[in-house]
Structure 1
Amino acid sequence: MGSVSLLKCYRPFFSMVFPLSPPHAAVFRRKNLPSFCASSSPPLTHCANSHALKNPAAEVWLHNTMSKTKELFKPKVESKVGMYVCGVTAYDLSHIGHARVYINFDLLYRYFKHLGFQVCYVRNFTDVDDKIITRAKELGEDPISLSRRYCEEFCRDMVTLNCLPPSVEPKVSEHMPQIIDMIEKILNNGYAYIVDGDVYFNVEKFPEYGKLSSRCLEDNRAGERVAVDSRKKNPADFALWKSAKPGEPFWESPWGPGRPGWHIECSAMSAAYLGYSFDIHGGGIDLVFPHHENEIAQSCAACKKSDISVWMHNGFVTVDSVKMSKSLGNFFTIRQVTDLYHPLALRYFLMSAHYRSPVNYSNIQLESASDRIFYIYETLHECESFLNQHDQAIKKDSIPPDTLNIIDKFHDVFLTSMSDDLHTPVVLARMSDPLKLINDLLHTRKGKKQQFRIESLAALEKSIRDVLNVLGLMPASYSEVLQQLKELALKRANMTEAEVLQKIEERATARIQKEYAKSDAIRKDLAVLGITLMDSPNGTTWRPAIPLPLQELLQSRVVEHLQS
């Protein structure tokens, strides 16, 4: 391939790094989105501006599905990262399996920005697809209007889950010229054939087909979202272009009116914004075959120098150890879950397992995540309230060595774990150390060396806040999120706060009258519903907690694990 052809393959990514003209500079702009999405952003401090933990020299290791090993990440262009993640097919509300994908890559996006990289993050919308057409027919709605509506709903879900907006969010319907151009290249290079206005990719022309998924061509099925077409040369051949059918949306092409196949859409849009050669291509593990396998074949057929450095895939969300999916009917939408649990609890839950491992959805897991983030935000809120009453000027030489040691160890664990293929469970677990010290300083070391105490608390709170920002777990306000967590706990308990306070009054009366059995019964009844009472010299208050039956179930599982 000559130098001019090679430049064409790489030009979009070069233009991201070294802008060639105003049109190419648009790579960093989010476009073609509903106006509310274009202007909305999660309420948090921008991670790229954080300096406390930034370490541009950090070595990042990522698991590459292609090599089946962890590899040292080496960007194609120094300090720049080009990342494409396959987006949703917009025909319904997104479920928490989708949430896991986009939280995972939001986390990677945030971490790269935190380390000082410039990141062009492209996440598409599939708004032209068989599933969309089928759903639109069921509802008697125009397919494009249907998909536009669900694109907007997806954007709302991402804001709710505290996901940063990508650099670009292209839609299939707005990139037909690029898709048609790529199909023409594939045809001209001899990798595809035309049958009655349909264009198929000839997999036998691509010897490396199956390399990503480790499948032999003989073992592969068609990889289509429709039945096998007998007109194909090989059952594994897949559609690049589908001829128009009555009542379906279509676009004009050199092969007649029609619409693109599923796989070519992502190949064309990733090439349009990042070129044929870029750093990371990601998605859920279910996309390895056929979608990503077919993308590789198409892109290499269009440009021989096509090269993706790292293919990343997250594990499934399961329900009772069975993959969650719409086709199986065992899924929960993001809206259904966040109607009862805080979005940050869902985010915490999905990060509590390594992204490549399956994570099993259950009420126990969500209750545990809710309980944990309540503890985190309550601790930080108490710390913040204390510091607001005192001078917060941090003097590093005034921070005791034991505090500095805990902060340094926490930061080291954060960088080491995140750079080791985003090992978030370790980071979340080790957050306990600075949190415990904050509680110790607030509640057991009162009056002891007050200035050292203030300096320690300020430094500890900042160290945790910086990490929460990178994890996407930093709320706009500690007090606000605590109130939201309490309201959701009341909703799950089917109680109002007035009813809880009434129970507290009844219990106080019972204690005065030495009716201890009644007092204990009230406490237990509330505990069963996930309401814990806390007594202090100043009276009794309440907080959300894991409901007692679920606590007992968790304890029994721990015992079983220890005995096994």
Structure 2
Amino acid sequence: MDLRLHNTLTRSKETFEPIDAKNVRMYVCGPTVYDYAHIGNARPVIVFDVLYRLLRHIYGEKHVTYVRNITDVDDKINARALRDFPDLPLNEAIRNVTEKTANQFHKDVEALGCLPPTIEPRATEFVLPRADGKSDMATLIQNLLDKNHAYIATGGEGREVLFDVTSMDNYGALSNRKLEDQQAGARIEAKDHKKNAGDFVLWKESSANEPGWDATFNGEIIHGRPGWHIECSAMSAAYLGETFDIHGGGLDLIFPHHENEIAQSCCAHGTQKMANIWMHNGYLQVEGKKMSKSVGNFVTIHELLHTEKFGGRKWPGEVLRLAMLMTHYREPIDFSISRLVEAEKTITKWRSVVECFYGDAPDGADEDVIKYYRNKDLNFKDTRKEYRNFQFFLRPLGEDLDIRSVIARAQASITAISTGFQGADLPTKNDKYEYTHDTRRTLVRVFSLLGFDLRQKEELTSEQHALITERLAFFADKNFAEADRIRDKLLSQGIQLKDSKDSETGERVTTWEIKR
């Protein structure tokens, strides 16, 4: 399928053509692990997880490399490492400080239904030259000095290696900012002796009582620590090469972080591009306000999953995931309790239709589906008759990752199933049931591609699954006596079926649970 993505760099939608279809490469900026990840951090993780799944579907699981870094080089982290583990080497001390928050991040995003990236490098492992020869920060900085894109300056806090923004002709192209409007915007701020106001820190000297690494620049050892931006330039080059396919992150990273990544990488490597396509998800606010600890609406993923801080209850990971995906990834999100309630109702509706079809969904190509259409002589022009076709759901994903439209199509198919595909011109009741059955199987594949596993946590036996499927067929035929017989049989086995109607649409909603 063709994949068209909005490229921030060109401000247009482009057809995605990988540099190498046998190794599609994507880099996404990961968390800084000095604290638990907040709900705003979850959005890029979820959005680019869907893109990762889609790329794997198109090009094959073994042909996609997804790198998402962990930033563990930060002045707060460094200071805490020195304080708590003064006798350990800096990298080891930092690892001790960040291990808990990094592990919690992994647990949180797994609960959100996200796959682990192919590679997850830590910034601390790429500060100095490596034994394996992979790209590192110190070597990249020296390359920039050698090519006159950087210079060493001495300020009130010691020596700094700064990038000269005037040395790059098209600096500011990603953010579309004029050079005179640029600000340094770095986590480590350079205050003095800059040639230009927009020059930013590549390396900053540490004082005698501050932690740091011994790096050599222009023959001098400067004990210090790297700037924020150089980290991603080193880690992406180490695993994806000097130019790769897709670079993603939040809208807030366009400037200065991504702008400066491009400057460092292109000038150090002598390339025209760092990544061919740049993608950015929109901002997130909570209950109509910018998330802030001072406002009191700052909430972490962990709190949403495990405490009753937000809305007086815990929220399942799949509900948080859907709440993120109901809005197009480039648009802003107002994360609210009402949004979560809506997402939970939707998840319940999905589960009632597809949960008993897990393990029965084909993973192969869609030729069999198309063949079925031809044999049944179904009309492709009738949208309702496309619900069995996996590609029908995928088409919006091919247009700038329009997950919202995929969800809308899934909702429409759920409605069609609930109403028995009225008006679908299916010739017999048996065909209608077969058609409905296959649509459910297609939906399982769709939801799996979006990262949703809607199975109950406790599995039923294959016989019990078969009984639930048979009961659905009896409902389709309006044979309620037989449907009730199966309900009672399952109840005697400890499986309670729950039939209800959606308060808004009147559609049948069926769920099950194991009674103790």
Contact 2:360 2:441 in 1 (8 A): no
Q: Is the 8 A contact 2:184 2:200 kept in 1?
A: yes
C-alpha offsets along residues 325-365 of structure 1, whole Å, 9 cap, x if unaligned?
56876321111222311110111110000000001011000
1:353 aligns with 2:315: no
Mark the CA change 1:543 to 1:325 in structure 2 (over 3 Å): closer, same or farther: farther
CA displacement at 1:72 relative to structure 2: 1.3
Counterpart contact for 1:87–1:125, Cα < 8 Å: yes
In 1, the alpha carbon distance for the partners of 2:271 and 2:432 equals 59
The one-letter code matched in structure 2 to 1:354 is H
Query: Which amino acid in structure 1 is aligned with residue 100 of structure 2?
Result: R
Superposition pairs of residues 2-13 of structure 1, within 5 angstroms: none
SS in 1 for 2:171: coil
* In structure 1, C-alpha distance between the alignment counterparts of 2:166 and 2:138, rounded to whole Å: 22
Residues 402/112 of structure 1: CA separation in 2 closer, same or farther (3 Å cut): same
Distance in structure 2 (CA, Å) of the matches to 1:138 and 1:479: 44
Give the match for residue 232 of structure 1: 194
Kindly indicate whether the alpha-carbon contact (under 8 Å) linking 1:228 and 1:235 is maintained by their aligned counterparts in 2. Answer: no
- Between the aligned partners of 2:117 and 2:19, the Cα distance in structure 1 is 20
Q: Which one is further off, 375-384 or 169-178?
A: 375-384
1:106 to 49, 53, 56: 49
Which of the residues 163, 168, 193 maps onto 1:206? 168
TM-score by length of 2: 0.75
Contact 2:358 2:444 in 1 (8 A): no
Query: Are 2:360 and 1:371 equivalent residues in the alignment?
Result: no
1:480–1:326 distance in 2 versus 1, CA, 3 Å: farther
Aligned pairs for 1:69-468 within 5 A = 69-117=12-60, 118-133=63-78, 142-176=93-127, 177=129, 178-195=136-153, 196-254=158-216, 255-307=221-273, 308-324=275-291, 330-339=297-306, 340-381=314-355, 396=372, 401=378, 406=384, 408=386, 411-441=390-420, 451-468=430-447
- 1:84 and 1:154 map into 2 onto residues whose CA distance is 18
Displacement, 1:236?
A: 1.7
Q: Is the 8 A contact 1:97 1:325 kept in 2?
A: no
Cα offset, 1:276, TM superposition:
1.1
Residue range with higher mean Cα deviation, 81-90 or 313-322: 313-322
Q: Which amino acid aligns with 2:48?
A: F
> Using the alignment, how far apart are the partners of 1:240 and 1:385 within structure 2?
52
Give the corresponding residue for 2:7. 64
Q: Quick check: 2:4–2:15 contact (8 Å CA) kept in 1?
A: yes
- TM-score (normalised: structure 1): 0.69
The change in CA–CA distance for 1:400 and 1:350 in structure 2 (over 3 A counts) is: farther
1:396 CA displacement: 3.5
Matched residues in 2 for 1:434 and 1:545: separation? Answer: 17
- Greater helix content: 1
Q: 1:67 to 1:440 in 2, by over 3 A?
A: same
Is contact 1:202-1:234 (8 Å) kept?
Answer: yes
Distance in 2, Cα, partners of 1:326 & 1:253: 37
Q: Which amino acid aligns with 2:416?
A: L
Distance 1:368 1:277, change over 3 A: same
Corresponding residue for 2:450? Answer: 471
The Cα of 1:259 is off from its aligned counterpart by 1.6
* Secondary structure of 1:62's aligned partner: strand
1 CA distance for matches of 2:65 and 2:101? 24
Is the contact between residue 175 and residue 269 of structure 1 (CA under 8 Å) also seen in structure 2?
yes
CA drift of 1:434 comes to 2.4
- Residue 469 of structure 2 corresponds to none
Deviations 1:144-196 (A, max 9, x none): 32223211111111211111111110111111221111111111001111134
The answer to whether the Cα contact below 8 Å between 2:31 and 2:69 also exists between their aligned partners in 1 is yes
Could you give the per-residue CA deviations for residues 437-460 of structure 1, whole angstroms, max 9, x where no partner exists? Answer: 3334499x9xx9564354223311
Specify the code of the residue in structure 2 equivalent to 1:281. H
Contact 1:406 1:434 (C-alpha < 8 Å) held by counterparts: yes
Q: CA deviation at 1:382?
A: 6.0
User: Taking structure 1 as reference, are residues 127 and 542 closer, same or farther at Cα in structure 2, changes over 3 Å only?
Assistant: same
Secondary structure of the equivalent of 2:278? strand
**Structure 1 position 68, deviation (Å):** 1.1
Q: CA deviation at 1:237?
A: 1.3
Q: Give a deviation string over 1:32-83, Cα, whole Å, max 9, x none.
A: xxxxxxxxxxxxxxxxxxxxxxxxxx22111111111111112112353111
Q: Contact conserved, 1:383 with 1:442, CA < 8 A, in 2?
A: no
Taking every aligned residue pair, what percent have the same amino acid on both sides?
A: 39
CA distance in 2, matches of 1:212, 1:461: 43
Structure 1, unpaired ranges of 5+: 1-57, 388-392, 483-536, 552-564
Q: Which residue of 2 aligns with 1:507?
A: none
Residue pair 1:399, 1:455 contacting (<8 A) in 2 also: no
CA distance in 2, matches of 1:385, 1:111: 20
Quick one: distance in 1 between partners of 2:360 and 2:238?
52
What count of residue pairs does the alignment treat as equivalent? 429
SS of equivalent residue, structure 1 residue 360? strand
**RMSD between superposed Cα atoms in Å:** 3.5
| Structure 2 CA distance for aligned equivalents of residues 173 and 221 of structure 1 | 26
